[in-house]
Structure 1
Amino acid sequence: MPRVASAAAEHIGAQIVGARTRRKMTQDQLAAATGIDSSNIRSYEGGRATPSIHTLIRIATALDVEPGSLLDGLTLAHFSASGRRAS
C-alpha cells in the first residue's frame, strides 16, 4: 500500500527540510548521521510518512535543533479527519 501524505506529515517534513538545508546537509548526509535509511528520510521530507518520536529526536540531534522545533506550528487542524488541512 503506498504511503499517503497527511497535512501533519507534510508540515513536519517541511520543518525537517528547512533545518537540513540551513545546515547545508543532503538527504544522504542526514541519513548517514541518523542511521535512518535515505528512502525514509525522503518519505518524511515529502510528507508521505510521519516519523516516530524516537526518529524525530534522532533527526533533530543530527540537525542540531531542538526536537520541538520540528513540530513548530503544528496544530490539531493538521490532523483533521480528511487528513488534509484546509487552506
Structure 2
Amino acid sequence: MPRVPSPAARHVGEHIATARKERGLTQDDLASLTGIDSSNIRGYESGRAMVSVQTLVRIADALRLEPGALLRGIELGMFTAPERDGRRRAG
C-alpha cells in the first residue's frame, strides 16, 4: 500500500469511512468483503495511504457505490506535489 498522506487521501478515506458506517459495517467487515487487509482499510480511512484505482473499485463494489462517489469533491490541489527528482517534464 503506497503511503501517500495528502488532503486527497484524507478526503477519499473520509468518504470510505462514512459509507461503511452508513451500512453498519466495521472495518473488519469491509476487509472481509473486499479481500483487503483490515490494516490497509484503517490506513485508507485515516488518510495515511492513498488507495489505488483497483482498490478503490473493490471498496466501492463492496459498499455498493459507484467508484466516483468516493472521489466526489476531489480537486487537483489536494494532492501533494512530488519532490523534484531531476527528470525533465513535458510542457
Scaled by the length of structure 1, the TM-score of the pair is: 0.86
Deviations 1:41-66 (A, max 9, x none): 00000000011000000000000011
1:24 partnered with 2:31: no
Give the count of matched residue pairs: 80
Q: Which has the larger radius of gyration?
A: 2
Q: Which amino acid aligns with 1:70?
A: L
Q: Which runs of 5+ in 1 are unaligned?
A: 83-87
Match of 2:11 in 1: 11
Q: Which runs of 5+ in 2 are unaligned?
A: 83-91
1:64 partnered with 2:64: yes
Distance 1:13 1:80 in 2: 16
How far the C-alpha of 1:79 sits from its partner, in A, is 1.4
Match of 1:81 in 2: 81
**Root mean square deviation, CA, Å:** 1.4
Identity %: 59
Runs of 4+ in structure 1 over 6 Å off: none
Scaled by the length of structure 2, the TM-score of the pair is: 0.83
Distance 1:54 1:24 in 2: 24
